[in-house]
Amino acid sequence: MSISTPEKRKLQEQQIQAILKNPILLRKLTHQVYELLEEDLRNQRDRQPSYWGG
Whether 1 maps to a domain, the answer reads: no
Domain count, the chain: 1
For residue 39, give its domain range: 22-47
Is residue 29 a contact partner of residue 21, using CB atoms and an 8 Å limit?
Answer: no
Dump pLDDT digits (tens) for 4-54: 899 999 999 999 999 999 999 999 999 999 999 999 999 988 888 676 665
| Contact in structure between 25 and 18 (CB atoms under 8 Å) | yes
pLDDT of 22: 97
Cα-based angle 41, 43, 48 (whole degrees, multiple of 5): 95
**CB atoms < 10 A from the CB of 29, how many?**
14
- Is there a domain that residue 37 lies in? yes
Q: If you write DSSP's letter for every residue of 26-43 in order, what string do you get?
A: HHHHHHHHHHHHHHHHHH
